[in-house]
Amino acid sequence: MKFKYKSFWRKSGLKGKWGNIYLEHLSHFKPINFLEIGVFCGVTARNTCDYLNKIHGDKFSYIGIDLFGGKKNTANNEVEPDFLKDQKFSNPFKNLYYNHILKENLNSIESNTKFLKKYKKNVKLIAGDTNSELKKINLSNIDYTFLDGGHSYDTVTSDLEILYSNLKGKNKIVLCDDYGQASMITEVKSAIDDFVNKNRINLKVIKDRFAELTF
């Protein structure tokens, strides 16, 4: 079954062909319990829930964690993709609609809760910095993680270490964004390479962008 990634007139980290490449990857693993680190405006969350609902009906869970506009624990060493800086849209109609008519911050927990309300029984959104909050979440049954939150070396390392301490030896998948040339963030790549070498993890590069790690 082919599933098409939709943008829902919001912003997404997975533009153009990347959404479909992500969904194709997800469809190889068909996870029941899913974690997204870095929800942003919820577009990948919504596409993921639509897909998991299609294949599992009501029997899936989605956990998403994001700062949702709150404060980071770490000082100023975070590396942010440019599209995160302001709620600016190249499309003037979107700008008018979200910034002047609805006055809605698409990265807020309220906006994401509303956007995902169709799946409210399956979805749990957590506001906070993964450097302190990720270890408080029960990760033991997570089958598949999309790691796309803080992009600094320290945050990526911390997220991977926490995931690994919960999922080690369970044959679970962590898909990391911004590893390969297509969207590489040097700090992300270095953190992943150091983590993988230290723990002797299997790494597969997907379409020159994502790093697939098997724990």
Ligand X SMILES: C[S@@+](CC[C@H](N)C(=O)[O-])C[C@H]1O[C@@H](n2cnc3c(N)ncnc32)[C@H](O)[C@@H]1O
Of positions 7, 25, 56, 78, contacts ligand X by CB under 6 A: 78
DSSP one-letter string for 57-118: TT--EEEEEE-TT---SS-S-----GGGSS---SSHHHIIIIIIIS---TTSHHHHHHHTGG
How many residues belong to the site for ligand X (CB under 6 A)?
Answer: 23
When binding is defined by CB under 6 A, the residue of 62, 150, 173, 210 that contacts ligand X is 150
Cα dist from 50 to 79, 107, 119, 123, whole Å: 30, 20, 9, 12
CB 122 within 8 A of CB 49: yes
Choices 24-32, 40-48, 86-94, 113-121 (CB under 6 A): range interacting with ligand X: 40-48
Query: What is the closest distance, in whole angstroms, from the C-beta atom of residue 12 to ligand X in the complex?
Result: 4
125 near ligand X, rule: CB under 6 A:
no
Work out how close the CB of 191 gets to ligand X at its nearest, in angstroms, rounded to a whole number: 13
Q: Which is nearer to ligand X, 53 or 73 (CB)?
A: 73
> Binding ligand X by CB under 6 A: which of 3, 27, 81, 203?
81
3-state secondary structure of 42: coil
Distance CA 133, CA 110 (A): 19
CA dihedral sign of residues 202, 203, 204, 206: positive
Assess 139 for contact with ligand X (CB under 6 A). Answer: no
131 scored as a contact of ligand X (CB under 6 A): yes
Give me the residues that bind ligand X (CB under 6 A), please. Answer: 12-14, 36, 38, 40, 43-44, 65-67, 72, 78, 81, 84, 107, 129-131, 148-150, 155
